[in-house]
Copies of this chain bind each other. A is one copy, B any other.
């Protein structure tokens, strides 16, 4: 069997998170392990209305094959929203709809990576990005995160190598919940300016801001090889798998389009019509406000409970948005080795290991606060605190 398999797939780790989803689906377990939006964030009634309307308005078009780049109306809507919210000057031709943001990572790897090419990632970073890039067997250059964002000195050192792209999640990062400061953004921009290196700004959580001022993108609209990724998974519905790539480099987009054709021809067109109709018949911003208000309360509940139940030797981030926070245990304590004990005590988290390209038995863990109510969050953190105190 082994000799049949490609080297790429043998280098690609299975997802720890998806692997434990079945375990965590046990209703007696309080799970902070997944990355599921709260079902309340799905505008279910409005989407049901939109379904009826698009079948009536567009007929067989919503069921037929369609364009590789995606529904022009939806791409135009996305472009206009970036203009309105961020002052970015984007046209529909600079947007390709993808089958969730995850596919964007796969397409970018296909278009840019040969074996051994350099990829800079945050340390820690989104585990399924590690997966998507690993298929191409790149060399990873992890750059540490701190409270300000990416360690820019570390980034500059990494860029001395042959690096095809830098992959960053500057807003409410997965897994840490950290957000790059305005100063850090400028310094990352300066490190990449005048270079061919592509900057991928993955922004699935940017809309989930609990308050404060929206910070500008690092590369979007400024760097010649900037790629911005977005999605409707966290603000509308993840089950519909609708994300997108924004990139003003036409040559790069031509190749991404070929990779998209080869990968799945085009993204589900029914979903694209559905989301477009939803966006244009409802107050999307009001809906997002309801979600962020909910998540802010849940994040507060988690942080309050950690203050109450965690030993003082345990640190954690206090995100101002997004879906996750990051716990740091005392040096030398392995979160992975705590995991079976946590399951015994009916609480689940993701140990830090799968978020690193270069660490094992890390003393960190990711907690998701979006998919449980405040009372459940408190009870889960109480259970986790008891385990941590017993170590």
Contacts and interface: CB of A to CB of B under 8 A. Distances in A.
Contacts of A114: 6-8
A131 interface: yes
Contacts of A9: 110-111, 255, 258-259
B64 A238 contact: yes
Nearest to A103: B264
A5 B114 CA distance: 8
Interface string A52-91: 1001000111111111100000000000000000000000
A289 interface: no
A123 interface: no
A305 to B, nearest CB: 25
Total copies of this chain within the assembly: 2
Interface residues of A, number: 82
A20 interface: no
A48 interface: yes
B255 A241 contact: no
A302 interface: no
B65 A262 contact: no
Interface string A237-259: 11111000000010110110111
Nearest to A100: B264
A47 interface: yes
A106 B109 CA distance: 14
B4 A239 contact: no
Contact of A239 (B51, B66, B240): B66
Contacts of A65: 34-36, 233, 238-239
Contact of A5 (B34, B47, B111, B257): B111
B5 A240 contact: no
B255 A268 contact: no
Interface in A25-49: 34-37, 39, 42, 44, 47-48
Contacts of A252: 1, 4
Contacts of A99: 99, 241, 264, 268
Contacts of A164: 4
A334 interface: no
Interface in A192-251: 196, 198, 225, 233, 237-241, 249, 251
A65 B204 CA distance: 14
A113 B6 CA distance: 5
> Which among A68, A106, A255, A261 has the greatest number of chain B C-beta atoms within 10 A?
A261
A29 to B, nearest CB: 17
Interface string A122-161: 0000001001101110000000000000000000000000
A21 interface: yes
Interface string A84-108: 0000000000000001101100100
11 contacts: A1-B251, A4-B112, A14-B258, A34-B65, A52-B52, A65-B233, A99-B241, A106-B262, A128-B262, A135-B262, A270-B271
Closest A-B pairs by Cβ, 3 of them:
A39-B60, A63-B237, A239-B269
Given A8-B110, A63-B239, A106-B263, 10 more contacts: A1-B251, A12-B259, A14-B258, A18-B265, A47-B55, A64-B237, A102-B263, A103-B264, A135-B259, A239-B269
